[in-house]
Amino acid sequence: MTAQTPDLLVLDDNWSDLTQFRAKPEIDFERLHQYRIGRIRQELKRAGAAMCMLINPISLRYAVDYACYGQFQAHIPTTYLFVAADGPTVLFNAYDPTCRADQLRQGQHTSFFDGGTELEPAAQKLAADVVDFLNEIGTDNRRVALEYVNPSIVHALASRGLEVTDGVAVSGLARTIKSADEIECIRWSIAVAEHGVAKLKEAIAPGVTELQLWGLLNYNNLANHGTWHDGRMLASGARINPWLQEASSKRVESGDLVGFDTDMIGPNGYFADISRTFHCGPGKPTPRQKELYRLAYDEVQHNIELLKPGLTFSDFQRMAFKQDPVYHENAYVCVVHAVGMCDEYPRINPAFRGPVSYDGTFEAGMVICVESYVGAPGETDGVKLEEQVLITETGPEVMTTYPFEDALLN
């Protein structure tokens, strides 16, 4: 097959809309919303809190499907949400009213962009709003959970006799177990990502830049109503080792390995996290490239087979695939992590980097990404692979379907 340049793939776009080739899954979005807000309230009650204040754009989408200006919100937190353990959801300072919050209100400034040097007085007003909200919902519980806020807000709440606890634990734990509707959303995001991966592979040829290849993934995501990518993880040739170098203007050369990690927040806000490594022809892969690919493939397959309900994080780490120590220095930061609307809890590092930071248990309904990067220090080549896996009652179900490379594997 003759490679098409990224420019022509965009200019002559008759391919990007995935619904031309397969039907979207049927999602009951009201049921999806009720499940997600129910999970937050369940965790609020577990934490003994009367309410939480959510500010992370992922949490806002999860709780009330508020999806406006997500990347802006991530560094200039203008919008925030009150969720009562028993009571309404109230969204403040919304740019877009089309969400599932029960009420919309004007609120206080919570970012320096909006509040400047008056953040402390704004925090006092916000604390008064929290007290008023607790009175509205008729509770005498004075414990509130907060996500990622300025210290001045914590101090203002404490000055009014409120006990503050971590809202990130509430929102993070709520997202760990996926409903059937969430699983279908994730399957669709994966399908969109893999649609883009196929075009990326088609465009690989000597002379194409890493940024042009990455642009195809981003374009495809947007064309299917996705949102953003958490990074630009694509590298080729000598830039593939060590891993975690983002896409650059480097031109791909014949014989290069081209590796990437989608890190894609796709349609409906759900994550597709897939890694593959391709070879740029017209030559054949070297024996060393094939050896590295096999090592990464074997690590991923071994660790997938371990995943099952009831397995502890520490036992998984102990039983996980052991690479030769020559690959430890450049190994990926973790061997598995969960995903939903983004990278999520839990994350488990390789055993040679020390014991797990926290223990817990894998459960049915978790979606787990299984990672491997194999590249020795001082060498040019390296291989990045990753699969997305649903843990079912009977064990692992691989959700990603994009094939591995026969030319590198065999």
**Per residue in 359-378, pLDDT tens?**
999 999 999 999 999 999 99
At residue 314 the predicted structure's pLDDT band, cuts being 50, 70 and 90, is: very high
Q: CA end-to-end span of the chain, whole Å? A: 21
Q: Note the pLDDT tens digit of each residue in 213-247.
A: 999 999 999 999 999 999 999 999 999 999 999 99
Interval 23-42 mean pLDDT? 97
Res 1: pLDDT? 45
Same domain, 152 and 250: no
What are the residues facing 229 on neighbouring strands?
Answer: 264
Same domain, 224 and 252: yes
Q: Note the pLDDT tens digit of each residue in 83-121.
A: 999 999 999 999 999 999 999 999 999 999 999 999 999
Same domain, 160 and 79: yes
146, 174, 202 - which closes a domain: 174
Same domain, 132 and 216: no
304, 142 contact by CB (below 8 A)? no
Same domain, 398 and 267: yes
Res 182: pLDDT? 98
Q: Is 131 buried (19+), middle (13-18) or exposed (0-12) by CB count in 10 A?
A: middle
Res 2: pLDDT? 56
pLDDT at position 26 over 50: yes
At residue 13 the predicted structure's pLDDT band, cuts being 50, 70 and 90, is: confident
Same domain, 93 and 217: no
Instruction: Give 11 or 330, the one with higher predicted confidence.
Output: 330
Q: Is residue 369 assigned to a domain? A: yes
Same domain, 100 and 82: yes
Q: Note the pLDDT tens digit of each residue in 254-267.
A: 999 999 999 999 99
Same domain, 96 and 210: no
pLDDT at position 356 over 50: yes
Q: How many domains does the chain have?
A: 2
Q: Is residue 164 assigned to a domain? A: yes
Q: What is the sign, positive or negative, of the torsion defined by CA atoms of 137, 140, 141, 145?
A: positive
Same domain, 168 and 189: no
Q: Is residue 323 assigned to a domain? A: yes
Q: Is residue 25 assigned to a domain? A: no
Which two three-digit tokens encode residue 119? Answer: 């953040």
Neighbouring CB atoms inside 10 A of 206's CB total: 14
Which two three-digit tokens encode residue 157? Answer: 């709440």
H-state helical runs in 307-347: 313-319
H-state helical runs in 5-136: 6-11, 29-47, 57-64, 70-75, 112-115, 119-136
Res 6: pLDDT? 81
Q: Is residue 43 assigned to a domain? A: no
At residue 399 the predicted structure's pLDDT band, cuts being 50, 70 and 90, is: very high
Same domain, 170 and 218: no
Res 68: pLDDT? 95
Q: Is residue 319 assigned to a domain? A: yes
Q: Which structural domain range is residue 134 located in?
A: 48-174
- Percentage of the chain beyond pLDDT 90 is 95
Q: Note the pLDDT tens digit of each residue in 150-175.
A: 999 999 999 999 999 999 999 999 99
Res 11: pLDDT? 74
Q: Is residue 375 assigned to a domain? A: yes
Q: Is residue 153 assigned to a domain? A: yes
The CATH number linked to 199 is 3.90.230.10
Res 3: pLDDT? 67
Same domain, 145 and 170: yes
Same domain, 278 and 400: yes
Distances (CA, A) of 289 to 139, 204, 284: 63, 17, 10
The CATH number linked to 167 is 3.40.350.10
127, 145, 174 - which closes a domain: 174
pLDDT at position 185 over 50: yes
Distance, CA of 86 to CA of 76 (rounded, Å): 29
174, 202, 218 - which closes a domain: 174
Q: Note the pLDDT tens digit of each residue in 275-292.
A: 999 999 999 999 999 999
At residue 10 the predicted structure's pLDDT band, cuts being 50, 70 and 90, is: confident
